[in-house]
Structure 1
Amino acid sequence: MCRTVELRQAVLARNDDGARELRARLAARGTAVVNLLSSPGSGKTALLEAELGLARERGVPVAALTADLATENDAVRLARSGAPVKQVLTDGLCHLETDMLRAHLAGWLPAETRLLFVENVGNLVCPASYDLGESLRVVLASVTEGEDKPLKYPTAFGLANLVLVTKADLAAAAEFDEAAFLASVARVNPGVEVVFTSARRGQGVGALLERALAVLDGAEVHRPVMAGTRAAGHAHEHVHGPAKGHDDDHGHDHEHDHEHEGHSGHAHAHPHASVVEGP
């Protein structure tokens, strides 16, 4: 057990170093990364497609990299926006890491890109521990997932700079308790902004783009309280801007679990990617 913890800390420390380097390199060229985390089926892709389309209409140079265990379905949907899109198939790995992201950006990311949206693997556990060099970390939850989602996955929600509630048009049908959800968010991440959205109805569409552009232009982001604490199993913190690391959840909400010990030295199979052209 001690060896597993030590290996995990080493892997995360290496990832954090790479994240700081990638963040600085992208900032130097005027690009900011937005890391999107959620459970499978939250409506993350639908909302991102709408945001990309709006960015294109406004003339904002954007791109998207989407990760999944299998299929290129999400990339095909996102490419309908006309933005440059790349699909990363993780071959069973339930999260992205900085080295993976950097490798897939090399030779692909258009030089004029101002915002790179990274749609992480649908999972609220493993991705929460990995800084990707993002300037804005966004966690999404749909009204159909329950008001206590933030309490079940406190690391994911506790490290968010912004929380988006999706499928708000279904709130009444799902008997969603908005007050209870907001109270749950406040318990794990006091002061974080929560925006209600519906990609189908257009509610809240544009809020993500506006927040991301503001950060790119130097606006301060919400600093999670959890980012300044030392959580179990980790001896580093996570802060966007000059970011450091993450802590970890102990729940399970992903399609494929793995042993972090096996990631020491990145012994897992390398994910592959494909570029999906827009219309």
Structure 2
Amino acid sequence: MCRVVDLQQAVLAKNDERAGTLREELAARGTVVVNLLSSPGSGKTALLEAELTLAAARGVPVAALTADLATEHDAQRLSRAGVPVKQVLTDGLCHLEADMLRGHLEGWLPDGVRLLFVENVGNLVCPASYDLGESLRVVLASVTEGEDKPLKYPTAFGLAQLVVVTKDDIAEAVGFDEEEFRANVRQVNPGVEVLLTSARRNQGVGLLLERAEAVAEGAEVHRPVMARAGAAAEDGHTHTHAPSAPLSHGSVHSHTGVRSPGGAPVQAHMSDVPVRSHP
């Protein structure tokens, strides 16, 4: 008898297992991971820089790991906060995975770091499928992206434990309808908190840090209705969710080809700040 194996689901299940182990290991050393997901250009780097700067001023031990396809510009910006920063270059890979994060933390993550902010690759599809061992998953969207963003990316928003709206200072200029956005968030993730921020005007800066600190102190996090089955509906993986959650993006993406037989990420580079050039 032949047995059909879903390789995508197997890869995701393996990732979830390793993410759980990593979460326990980090918790044992007193570190909480905050996973930041958004589209490119959402303003999450600007907000994160402001949050890190505030954390440094308040004496909160934080660090940041930022992932990008090709450049180290984000690490350059974040390093201005005066906290430990690590850049991960994925060479085109559209997401981080638990094993990748573990490999980049080994030998780098300083002792005593209470909060580790991970700025995931700018993408709301693939990263939503991968647990990184985080204790708080945050999805960000700028007011320029439209009120229907949660409906277009129900897995990303449906699994969020916190939703952050960025660039709120230009909301009126671009005609952003806050109430409609909140209603769409509620449709895919009832009860999740939505924060309004503007890094440029320092509006709402500190709220993300406060929520992360609360989690580090043992506060209960929001439990999304959409349950993780180690997969995202958008990219063809199995996923359990509330009946009311709309689904879209039926295209299938394969992630198995970007890993070596031993499970290590292929062609992922890491560099310390200050930035070094790559051959």
**RMSD value, Cα:** 2.3
Shift of 1:228: 6.4
Q: What's the counterpart of residue 269 of structure 1?
A: 266
What SS is found at the alignment partner of 2:88?
Answer: strand
Report the Cα distance in structure 2 between the residues aligned to 1:170 and 1:189, rounded to whole angstroms: 25
Structure 1 residue 259, shift from structure 2 partner = 2.6
Paired with 2:146 and 2:9, the residues of 1 have a C-alpha distance of: 32
Task: Tell me the equivalent position of 1:160.
Answer: 160
In the TM superposition, what whole-angstrom CA distance separates every residue of 1:99-118 from its partner, at most 9, and x where no partner exists? 00000000000011000000
Which gives a bigger RCO, structure 1 or 2 (Cα 8 Å, sep 6+)?
1
State the TM-score, normalizing by the size of structure 1. 0.88
* Structure 1 pair 62–267 and aligned structure 2 pair: CA distance change class (3 A): closer
The answer to whether the 8 A contact 1:91-1:269 is kept is: no
CA distance in 2, matches of 1:21, 1:143: 36
In 1: Cα distance, 2:248 partner to 2:107 partner: 34
1:115 counterpart letter in structure 2 = L
Match of 1:250 in 2: 249
Measured at CA, do residues 88 and 151 of structure 1 come closer, stay the same or move farther in structure 2, by a change above 3 Å? same
Q: Does the residue aligned with 1:147 lie in a helix, a strand or coil?
A: coil
Q: Decide whether the 8 Å contact of 2:226 with 2:240 is kept in 1.
A: no
Return the TM-score normalized by structure 2.
0.88
Code of the residue aligned with 1:260 in structure 2: it is: H
1:259 paired to 2:254: yes
Report what 1:244 is aligned to.
Answer: none
Q: Which residue of 2 aligns with 1:240?
A: none
Q: Which residue of 2 aligns with 1:180?
A: 180
SS in 2 for 1:179: helix
Counterpart residue number, 2:132: 132
Gaps of 5+ in 1: 238-247
| Structure 2 residue runs without a partner (length 5+) | 242-246
Using a 3 Å threshold, how does the CA distance of structure 1 residues 117 and 268 change in structure 2: closer, same or farther? Answer: closer
1:22-33 aligned within 5 A: 22-33=22-33
Question: Aligned partner of 1:234: which letter?
Answer: T
Cα deviation code 1:204-230 (max 9, x no counterpart): 000000000000000000000002679
Aligned to 2:238: 234
Q: How far does residue 74 in structure 1 lie from its aligned partner after superposition?
A: 0.2
Q: Which runs of 4+ in 1 moved over 4 A?
A: 228-232
